[in-house]
Amino acid sequence: MRQSLARDFNDLLERGRDRQLRLAVTGLSRSGKTAFLTSLVHQLRHAGLEARLDLFPAAREGRILGAQRVAQQDLGVPRFPYDEAMLALDDTPPRWPEPTRGISELRLSIRYRPGKRGMFRSETAHLTLDLFDYPGEWLLDLPLLGHDYLSWSLAQPLATDSPLHNERRALFGDWLEAVKGLDPAAEADEASLATIAEHYARGLREAREAGFANLQPGRFLLPGELSGAPVLQFFPLPGLAEHDRASLAALPEQSVYQTLVRRFSHYQQHVVKPFYREHFRRFDRQIVLVDVLGALNAGPERFEDLSHALSTLMKSFDYGKRSLMSRLFAPRIDRLAIAATKADHVTPEQHGNLVALIEALLADPLQDLRYADVPVRAMSLASIRATQAREVEHQGKRTPALRGTTLAGEEVLVFPGEVPARLPDAEFWARQGFDFPAFRPAPRDNGTLPHIRLDSALEWLLGDKLQ
Ligand SMILES: Nc1nc2c(ncn2[C@@H]2O[C@H](COP(=O)(O)OP(=O)(O)O)[C@@H](O)[C@H]2O)c(=O)[nH]1
Ligand SMILES: [Mg+2]
């Protein structure tokens, strides 16, 4: 009661006055962050004009008067390359924006007329929206903060030789070969550690190319100025066990094991922590983007891998009281969205299943979030719709299909398959009922970027701030 009174009072004070919102757009690499941010900025800039945002009342009611990019607060962080992204999308033929290699941010000033309930009905107000884009590779390092070297090493997929990881193992062949002969107790040899670490980094890069998600350490994939530094020269040691902890701890300083322990902890302290302290601390809202369909398309091992990567990632965000991140940095996220991206890869009647599937995939973190009383919504969307829904006659029946242009420029009409509403089981994979090509974005012919339910995401993330 008291709390809600306080909230009403705050609302009253805030209304008609400038508001501010910091939104973090997070997701693993290739999950669709750049496309989402580009479309979000684009739609807001065209809201109230030609943008189609029926599920975003502030826009539908014509209360958004404009959105402009303004100078951001942190001058040391690159600006989100919105213009470059739009240029790519407007190219002939249209291209997807280039992947971004680092962190970036963008500040939008949104001018709007408060809703009917506002006290200052006729006045206009501003919402300053700070948007943050983090490389998926760096986010992957978050879970690493909850480990020490031994527990991290044991948690890595190749720590044991389970057949679950056969495809991954094939990509790490050189590393597995090289690390096999390495004795944790032997004296560390700088050059050989560097070589083995390079094999490991190459395995990670190839695994990323092959669609794997659970890839640590993330900086090995985007080393930037750390390229070649010893802090990036460690890797897990297969064949260790928790019950070796005491004997491993007793190994001499110069041993392979102790050297890797030092590098791991240096990486935690000097690479991962500063990133979160400086860039990842104070945002109010977060959207987590997940390419569920891409993982379905890639098969069972990749799907399982995504599931694992997401649950560890979400555990480290963990918005409840006990979480690692809240203990370290006390974030105050008051609202969260979890979105299955690229929904235009499946026919519209599958979208309900897609939401059910992402809820199943994130069941544990969703439960924790609800327990922590953080409002959260799962949805499916396409930031930039590249296909059109059609119906075709098939054996006398009308069935749904998608029309689009492949990256190679071929026009196709496809039925990509049914999305399971639950986590796919062996039977689903045996049927292999899922397949779609990547599509080229459609030319927008001076219109706004087509999307699916981006307006619904905007409403969930910003709607209340534009009341
Ligand atoms: N069809 C379709 N493809 C998308 C969409 N969003 C992203 N993609 C594809 O996914 C790729 C990766 O997206 P991007 O936004 O760069 O991912 P990021 O690494 O998370 O920033 C793009 O190059 C597109 O091929 C979408 O809404 N529809
Ligand atoms: Mg990106």
Residue nearest (by alpha carbon) to ligand 1 atom 6: 32
Q: Report whether 421 contacts 353 (CB < 8 A).
A: yes
Strand ranges for 209-353 from DSSP E = 285-290, 335-340
The residue among 460, 293, 457, 461 whose CA lies nearest residue 381 is 457
Residue closest via CA to ligand 1's atom 5 equals 342
Residue ranges of domains in the chain? 14-134+282-386+444-466, 141-277
| φ, ψ for residue 226, nearest 5 deg | -90, 0
> What residue type is 202 in one-letter code?
R
Provide the pLDDT for residue 266.
96
pLDDT value of position 1: 46
pLDDT of residue 120: 52
- Tell me the pTM: 0.90
Query: Does ligand 1 lie within 6 Å of residue 39's CB atom?
Result: no
- The pLDDT value recorded for residue 81 is 94
Which residues have C-beta under 5 Å from ligand 2, the single-atom ion? 33-34, 100
| Residue 465: predicted pLDDT | 93
For ligand 2, the distance from its centroid to the CA atom of residue 43, given in whole angstroms, is 18
Please tell us whether the domain made up of 14-134+282-386+444-466 is placed in CATH 3.40.50.300. yes
Closest among 243, 241, 361, 247 to 311, alpha carbons compared: 361
Å from CA of 33 to ligand 1 middle = 7
CA dist 360 to 221, 320, 354, 388, 424, Å?
Answer: 29, 20, 10, 27, 10
Distance from residue 133's CA to the centre of ligand 1 (Å): 14
| 35 CA to centre of ligand 1 in angstroms | 5
Which of 25, 31, 34 gets mutated to test ligand 1 (max ligand atoms within 8 A of its CB)? 34
Work out which ligand 1 atom sits closest to the CA atom of 383: 27
d(CA 457, CA 59): 13
**Average pLDDT of each block of 10 consecutive residues along the chain (467 residues)?**
53 63 91 96 88 91 92 84 96 92 91 73 86 88 92 92 89 96 95 96 94 92 82 93 95 97 96 84 86 91 92 72 51 84 96 96 87 89 96 86 94 90 90 82 89 97 94
- Which of 306, 384, 448 has the most ligand 1 atoms within 8 A of CB, as the residue to mutate? 384
Task: Check pocket membership of 30 for ligand 1, CB cut-off 6 A.
Answer: yes
Alpha carbon of residue 339 to chain centroid: 9
